[in-house]
Chains A and B, each alone.
Chain A
Amino acid sequence: MNRVEKRINELKKKKEKGLGFFLMGNWPDKDTFIEILRFIDSKNLADFLQIGVPFSDPVADGPIIRKASAQALYKGATLEKILKNLLSVREEISIPLILKTYANPLYVSGIGEMLSLAKESGISAIIIPDMPLEEISLVEEQARKNKIGVLLFAGPTTSEKRLVKISSKTSFFLSYTASHETSSLEFEKVLALSEKPVYSDFGKLSPEQAGAIAHSLDGIIMGWALTEIIDDSEKNFFKEIEKFAISIRKEIKEI
């Protein structure tokens, strides 16, 4: 079974809340990226990871990921190089991986070729911020062929009717882009409407906020929390990542 699917199902069965983090691919550099990946995997600091592909014009990202994206591009990171880097450690890493890329790098590099390489590299699902429900058919066939799940977003601006459609179409779980203003009542409504588990996808949350959201939903994903920690490289970021992830884990476990 697909690794992401398996993990989501296990968590659901055990009635545990899931935790995912975003890491920019091949950033801060190719080797450190792999070290961070190994570290998170070996210490079991998350249930899955989103691996980002840098893009020249990341319209859906805030300043922290934009900066990392520009740095990764400057150092020559590409979708293919990131996937090949992951391929080199595929056998050693067991944490489920989700590829997060804007549409154009995937489209121009060749959807079929890239998704087949992604499968080889241990990617179980893909999420494309600028490819909504209406356009997702562009990748579906190749994703199916390579047994890669296609995840979709919903958010506070998504209507109820649309949310139902998206939740039936998304593979494994629904990524809900919450904001600080999203209330637990709204989360519960989303959960009730959604056919699949719902994960909040938000840049960074404090352990308390994470705990509160995990209380209403199936789990949380943090977008730029680790990127910020790594960017602040004066400190030993491995230690900081561990400390942060454990503080979140603790809060969401205690529900």
Chain B
Amino acid sequence: MVRKGYFGGFGGQFVPETLMEALVILEKNFSSLIKSPGFKEEFQRLLADYAGRPTPLYYSEKLSKLTKAEVFLKREDLSHTGSHKINNALGQALMAKMTGKRKIIAETGAGQHGVASATAAALLDLECSVFMGREDMRRQVENVVRMKMLGAEVLPVDEGDATLKEAVNAALRKWSEDPENIWYLLGSCVGPHPYPEMVREFQSVIGREVKKQVPAKPTHLVACIGGGSNSMGLFYPFIEDREVKMIGVEATGSASISRGQPGIFHGAKTYLLQDKVGQISPTYSVAPGLDYSGIGPVHSFLKSTGRAIYLNVGDSSALKAFSWLAKNEGIIPALESSHAIGWVMENSWKSSDRIVICLSGRGEKDMETVTERGQV
């Protein structure tokens, strides 16, 4: 029997009872709105005229020369607010608005989802509070200022490592205080059902566009993975094309799927970085958007079936790719996306390989970090 909200043995709704009714209502709203012509039309309009979709698929001559394969970059960095996060933020915020919610809350690591949520909230006249770990606020100052400029409230979280995991905890707590009036705009394809499915739905526009844009069928799709939303957006429309290999690149210090074990956390059964007795491990990555102990349950499922491959690269590979792309292509990628680029640069390829890398965001937010790390 296929259980609701499960992908193979992964997923589910492991949340406190306080949130269950909210999830039931969310699921109902999502499944009816996603089919409604009114929502679809407005969402398409916003993606095109407001967010700047479709984003280009750029043939990178220099990366192609370096790898001796054909390399394309899906330019999510060119969408409004500078990353793929706007796709999901607009979709959920529009649903929040259409279901009469006045307030959205969000968690953010790198600040990209926070900025996207604050943007969607400003556009749609919603109140917005963003939970962000204190350490991430320090690392991503520019994005904190942007969120405030957009009218959002940024709430620092001091617990634990003060990064993304703690920001999610704080957002879940806030949501359970008033699930009737608050829409929790979760930014990745993690969490309890229906979030993994909902975020996947909104991000799949990435892969659908790639399908139309790429001159011939790609052999490899490569994307960085924190919670796994940009990768899911790129992969999902290709799931049935068995000959297309899908590769998720994690950060070595937060490699939940390539180095973790199954567990139950933040609403779902999924791969986690944890100790032998089920305590969630702290993580570290130079890229705050990858600095997370869990991963979306659909990725856990794709790993279990072998449909996608997951591996990891360290900070130095990402930093190298960051500098290389800036100096050779004139594109400053986010440190998160730099992990995917770094892996492609280090791997050996055949001339018949046609690789699409999701350039999930731009790297202006990372200036301080790369300066600290001696890249400038």
State the 4 A-B residue pairs at the shortest beta-carbon distance, nearest first: A108-B278, A105-B278, A153-B17, A104-B278
In the complex, the answer to whether B13 meets A132 with C-beta atoms within 8 Å is: yes
Minimum CB distance partner of B171 in chain A: A59
Minimum CB distance partner of A106 in chain B: B278
**Given the known A-B contacts A59-B172, A59-B173, A130-B16, are A108 and B276 also in contact in the complex, defined by CB atoms under 8 Å?**
yes
In the complex, the answer to whether B16 meets A153 with C-beta atoms within 8 Å is: yes
Bound form: Cα–Cα A157–B274 in Å:
32
- Say yes or no for B66: interface residue by CB 8 A criterion: no
Bound form: Cα–Cα A59–B175 in Å:
11
B149: shortest Cβ distance to chain A, in Å? 30
Q: Which of A114-145 contact B (CB under 8 A)?
A: 129-135
Cβ proximity bits B194-208 to A, threshold 8 Å, 1 near / 0 not:
000000000000000
Residues of B within 8 A of A157 (CB): 17-22, 179-180
Residues of A within 8 A of B19 (CB): 157
Q: Which of B152-175 contact A (CB under 8 A)?
A: 159-160, 165-166, 169, 172-173
- Say yes or no for A88: interface residue by CB 8 A criterion: no
- Say yes or no for A177: interface residue by CB 8 A criterion: yes
- Say yes or no for B363: interface residue by CB 8 A criterion: no
Q: Which of A60, A66, A106, A109 contacts B16 (CB 8 A)?
A: A60
In the complex, the answer to whether A135 meets B14 with C-beta atoms within 8 Å is: yes
- Say yes or no for A246: interface residue by CB 8 A criterion: no
Minimum CB distance partner of A134 in chain B: B13
- Say yes or no for B345: interface residue by CB 8 A criterion: no
Size band of the B side of the interface? 35 or more
Minimum CB distance partner of B269 in chain A: A107
In the complex, the answer to whether B280 meets A158 with C-beta atoms within 8 Å is: no
In the complex, the answer to whether B20 meets A104 with C-beta atoms within 8 Å is: no
In the complex, the answer to whether A133 meets B20 with C-beta atoms within 8 Å is: yes
Residues of A within 8 A of B20 (CB): 132-134, 157-158, 162
- Say yes or no for A154: interface residue by CB 8 A criterion: yes
Bound form: Cα–Cα A148–B279 in Å:
24
- Say yes or no for B261: interface residue by CB 8 A criterion: yes
Q: Which of A76-99 contact B (CB under 8 A)?
A: 78-80
In the complex, the answer to whether A56 meets B160 with C-beta atoms within 8 Å is: yes
In the complex, the answer to whether A135 meets B13 with C-beta atoms within 8 Å is: yes
Residues of B within 8 A of A154 (CB): 17
Interface, chain B (partner A; CB < 8 A)? 4, 12-22, 159-160, 165-166, 169, 172-173, 176, 179-180, 261, 263-267, 269, 272, 274, 276-280
B261: shortest Cβ distance to chain A, in Å? 7
Q: Which of B172, B265, B269, B280 has the most CB of A within 10 A?
A: B265
Residues of A within 8 A of B12 (CB): 134-135
Bound form: Cα–Cα A56–B293 in Å:
12
- When A and B form their complex, what is the total count of cross-chain residue pairs whose Cβ atoms lie within 8 Å? 99
In the complex, the answer to whether A104 meets B21 with C-beta atoms within 8 Å is: no
**Given the known A-B contacts A132-B16, A135-B14, A152-B17, are A104 and B169 also in contact in the complex, defined by CB atoms under 8 Å?**
no
In the complex, the answer to whether A155 meets B17 with C-beta atoms within 8 Å is: yes
Q: List 20 A-B contacts (CB under 8 A).
A: A57-B160, A57-B165, A57-B265, A59-B266, A80-B277, A103-B14, A104-B264, A104-B274, A107-B269, A108-B261, A108-B277, A108-B278, A109-B277, A130-B267, A133-B20, A134-B4, A134-B20, A158-B20, A162-B21, A177-B17
- Say yes or no for A55: interface residue by CB 8 A criterion: yes
Bound form: Cα–Cα A66–B266 in Å:
16
Residues of A within 8 A of B264 (CB): 103-104, 107, 130
Residues of B within 8 A of A135 (CB): 12-14
B282: shortest Cβ distance to chain A, in Å? 9
Minimum CB distance partner of A77 in chain B: B277
In the complex, the answer to whether A132 meets B17 with C-beta atoms within 8 Å is: yes
- Say yes or no for A164: interface residue by CB 8 A criterion: no
- Say yes or no for A37: interface residue by CB 8 A criterion: no
- Say yes or no for A159: interface residue by CB 8 A criterion: yes
- Say yes or no for A36: interface residue by CB 8 A criterion: no
B107: shortest Cβ distance to chain A, in Å? 12
Residues of B within 8 A of A57 (CB): 160, 165-166, 169, 265-266, 280
In the complex, the answer to whether B173 meets A109 with C-beta atoms within 8 Å is: no
Minimum CB distance partner of A60 in chain B: B16
Minimum CB distance partner of A175 in chain B: B17
Bound form: Cα–Cα A43–B160 in Å:
38
Q: Which of B16, B179, B277 contacts A59 (CB 8 A)?
A: B16
- Say yes or no for A205: interface residue by CB 8 A criterion: no
Minimum CB distance partner of A176 in chain B: B17
Bound form: Cα–Cα A129–B256 in Å:
24
In the complex, the answer to whether B274 meets A108 with C-beta atoms within 8 Å is: yes
Residues of B within 8 A of A106 (CB): 278
In the complex, the answer to whether A66 meets B13 with C-beta atoms within 8 Å is: no
